[in-house]
Amino acid sequence: MANFSGRRSARYLSILPAFLFLVLLSALPLFNLLALSFAEVSWSGGESQWSWVGLNNYMALGSDALFKAGILNTIILVVVATTAQVTIGLMLALACSRVGHRSRIYRTLFLLPILIPGIIIGAIWRLMYNYQFGVVNQILELVGLGPVDWLGSSSLALMSVIIVDIWHWTPFSFLLLLAAVEALPKDVSEAAQIDGASKWKEFRRISLPLLWPAIFTTFVFRAIIAFKVFDEVYLLTGGGPGTATEVISFTIYQRFFIQDNPGYGSAMSVTVIFIIAAVIAVAMTRQRSRSQ
Amino acid sequence: MKLFSPIYRSAALSAMAALCLTTASVSYADQLAPINIVINQSPWLDGFAGLVDLYESETGNKVTLDVNPYAGSLEKQRNAVRSEQSEYDLLIVNGIFYPEMYHGGFLEPLKNIDPDFKLDPQIYTYDDTLCYDAVNKTVNCETGDLLTIPVNPNITLMFYRKDLYEQNGLKIPETWDELMANAKALHNPPEMIGMMQRSARATISITWDYWPYLISHGGSLFRDEGNGDFFVTINSPEARKALETYVAFSKEVGPENPASMEQGDLIQYLVTGRAAHAVLPAAAQSQMDDPNKSIVAGKIGYMTIPHAPGYPSAPALGHWLGGIPENIAQDHKLAALAFLDWFQKPETQIAYAEMGGSPVSAAAYESDFADKPENRYMLTMRTASPTARRLWTIPEGSEIVAVLEVGLNRVVAGEISVVDSLNGMAAEIEKIMVDAGYKTGRLPDLAN
């Protein structure tokens, strides 16, 4: 008995360093962020002055037009971009799995956008969207449709950012879904085909249900990453025109680092963390109940 | 004894003299600690870096430049002054963010470092932004201490096509209406855009270009900021007239996509020969006459920013100021001050101009160098520098500018009207001021 309990203690002791490491790197910064969200920091005489403001920072969020615009635009971007990325990624994965040994070339090509650093993507697309000489407008002008103010028009700017995000991140979905497609049991599909099922029917009734957990996981992963979108907006539009492309990470960045308002920026950050956590929790619960 | 023959005596004396000189230069260099300057990557950086090299070679003192993007430089400066000891001995602070350095007590008054230090009388004080009165919390050189020396003026000028003016017999405009008439005469889109101005939303973009309109129409952000009256007046009839004028230029003689125009776009339009006028900081002139970058080399002229009748021209200050952190050792403060003292000298300022920098002294703008045709922008700077106007003097400026950037950009983008924008911005700025504890208020809403 003593031996057993000793072994148990040893087991707990062995994970203690990892646990402390986790606390140090994750929990403490989060706790610090939470504490800061109830305070206001000002500077005088070279010294910082913290003042406790209770829930004031959180209350102010409700009347903050940029915060509201940031949340709304981020949700639009997450839903539209993630849906498109998973759909296109799945189509590419299915197509790639059927081209045999040449699929390696396609895989490499499809993965290229994800390998390019964000700053270069910003530069590439800024040039492509350029009103005067961008390649997109040049093509449109050839067919008598241009030029279009992709980044300066309030009605188009968010869509322009979403297109870049889709281009940038579809390879991520493609990669995850390709692994799932290639792991599909071949015998089930073959049996369905022998039984006379069409390709579409076989995909809808057999492949899609089998792929569903992978599709769901990809969607959740992508949605989490999309919620944190920053570089594309920062580089392409700076949140404008007006608030058309304001996204929540950009709003937080502005409050924290440019406006030097760490208390309020922390309240925004904590709120966003809660929103993301809640969305994930709901999604996971629904997925669990579905699979049961 | 041969050792003391004339030739050996002469050699020995030369060696002793050389040794003395070496020792002297070493001891001079030893007197001053090496200094570390944090600065942002700007079009004028090369000129400043050239000047630093000159300082090192002239004095033997060591200077290291830590060059960063705009936001990165700001962040490093904030971290440096808020730490136990700053890793930088000289901060090159932007004209938008200097108030937080002043109000926060982060910079050492220069006379505290050396009571005999004096600002060279030819250095521009740029609307008194070099001084801070810590007791009354106001930015002014009458009662305030000298905290910084300007490093770059970054004043906006009106760049225009001199050749087109001559061809069309146009006169240099004084007022906005006259400028509009000239711009209309030359506006022929898409080949030629009558007037280019920044209208995009950024850290500070459209605000900087709207400011001269606001001030030169008799408008203001606050009722009397210099005397501590922070009653919000951005929704005054004068501000409305200013914004309507600004928008008219965008709509009537601007490009088809004004809401996304940034400084880079303006320069691009000018150097490709597709803009008749553009509001740009003086430093952008370096790209105009370079035949490798511009097809309009020698064709660009410079004029002061126009104004409404009865008001003076009011180019906006986006200048850079050199300040010494309070939290560094005394020997580093002395070394940083020695650099600033050398920097402000008239001969240094002329050398700065010759290296392609933007001087901050009348000595440079009134020198023979300024009279050369290739330096013609300097003549305009001579007129514009004393009239340039600061933006704001309070640390809340970084929050206020965010409100202005969104509000003004939305008008140009056609999302909201001039009146709704001004009323909305006034309410938001009032809230910022209330939250920060100022005694404030705002004008009644403008009617549509």
Does A274 have pLDDT greater than 80? yes
SS3 (DSSP) at B92: strand
Average of per-residue pLDDT across B299-313: 97
- pLDDT of A258 reads 87
- pLDDT of B403 reads 94
Contact status of B105 with chain A (Cβ, < 8 Å): yes
Query: pLDDT confidence of A42, banded at 50, 70, 90?
Result: confident
Average of per-residue pLDDT across A93-113: 83
SS3 (DSSP) at A181: helix
pLDDT digit string (tens) for B119-178?
Answer: 999 999 999 999 999 999 999 999 999 999 999 999 999 999 999 999 999 999 999 999
B32-154+318-371 belongs to CATH 3.40.190.10: yes
Domain ranges of chain B: 32-154+318-371, 156-316+390-435
* pTM reported for the whole predicted model: 0.85
- pLDDT of B257 reads 87
A46 with B412: Cβ contact below 8 A: no
SS3 (DSSP) at A244: coil
Most confident segment among A282-286, B23-27, B180-184: B180-184
Domain ranges of chain A: 2-52, 61-291
Does B359 have pLDDT greater than 50? yes
A242 with B410: Cβ contact below 8 A: yes
**pLDDT greater at residue A42 or residue B166:** B166
The CATH architecture of the domain made up of B156-316+390-435 is 3-Layer(aba) Sandwich (3.40)
pLDDT digit string (tens) for B75-128?
Answer: 999 999 999 999 999 999 998 899 999 999 999 999 999 999 999 999 999 999
What residues in B contact A73, CB-CB < 8 Å? Answer: none
B260 with A131: Cβ contact below 8 A: yes
Probe site for chain B from A43, A138, A235 (most B CB atoms < 10 A) = A43
How does strand B35-40 pair with strand B63-68? parallel
Give me the total of CB pairs closer than 8 Å, taking one residue from chain A and one from chain B: 104
- pLDDT of A4 reads 60
- pLDDT of A13 reads 87
What residues in B contact A254, CB-CB < 8 Å? Answer: 402
Probe site for chain A from B257, B396, B405 (most A CB atoms < 10 A) = B257
Average of per-residue pLDDT across B11-25: 43
Query: What is the amino acid identity at position B391?
Result: L
- pLDDT of A23 reads 84
Distance between terminal CA atoms of chain A?
A: 39
Answer whether B32-154+318-371 and B156-316+390-435 agree in fold.
Answer: yes
What residues in A contact B405, CB-CB < 8 Å? Answer: 240
- How many angstroms separate the CA atoms of B423 and B433, rounded? 15
Flag the least confident range among A278-287, B219-228, B284-293.
Answer: A278-287
Flag the least confident range among A74-78, A126-130, A194-198, B97-101.
Answer: A194-198
What residues in A contact B395, CB-CB < 8 Å? Answer: 43, 260
B257 with A149: Cβ contact below 8 A: yes
Mean pLDDT of chain B: 91
Distance from CA of B360 to the nearest CA of A (A): 27
- How many angstroms separate the CA atoms of B148 and B320, rounded? 10
Average of per-residue pLDDT across B264-286: 93
pLDDT digit string (tens) for A22-40?
Answer: 888 888 899 999 999 999 9
CATH topology of domain A61-291: MetI-like fold (1.10.3720)
- pLDDT of B3 reads 40
Does B256 have pLDDT greater than 70? yes
B260 with A241: Cβ contact below 8 A: yes
- pLDDT of B283 reads 86
Residues 6+ apart with CB under 8 A from A281: none
Average of per-residue pLDDT across B324-329: 97
Does B26 have pLDDT greater than 80? no
**Residue A234 near residue A125, CB atoms below 8 Å:** no
What residues in A contact B402, CB-CB < 8 Å? Answer: 66, 254, 258-259
What residues in B contact A44, CB-CB < 8 Å? Answer: 103-105
- pLDDT of A5 reads 66
Closest chain A residue to the Cα of B411, Cα to Cα: A242
- How many angstroms separate the CA atoms of A90 and A69, rounded? 31
Describe the strand order of the beta sheet including B90-94 as a list of residue ranges: B63-68, B35-40, B90-94, B320-323, B148-152
Average of per-residue pLDDT across B187-204: 94
Contact status of B264 with chain A (Cβ, < 8 Å): no
Distance from CA of A252 to the nearest CA of B (A): 13
Whether omega for the bond prior to residue B291 falls within 30 degrees of 0, making it cis, is no
Among candidate residues B337, B382, B378, B336, the one with its CA nearest the CA of residue B356: B378
Query: pLDDT confidence of A47, banded at 50, 70, 90?
Result: confident
Residues of A at the B interface, defined by Cβ within 8 angstroms: 43-48, 60, 65-66, 131-132, 147, 149, 151-154, 237-244, 254, 257-261
- pLDDT of B29 reads 45
Distance from CA of A44 to the nearest CA of B (A): 4
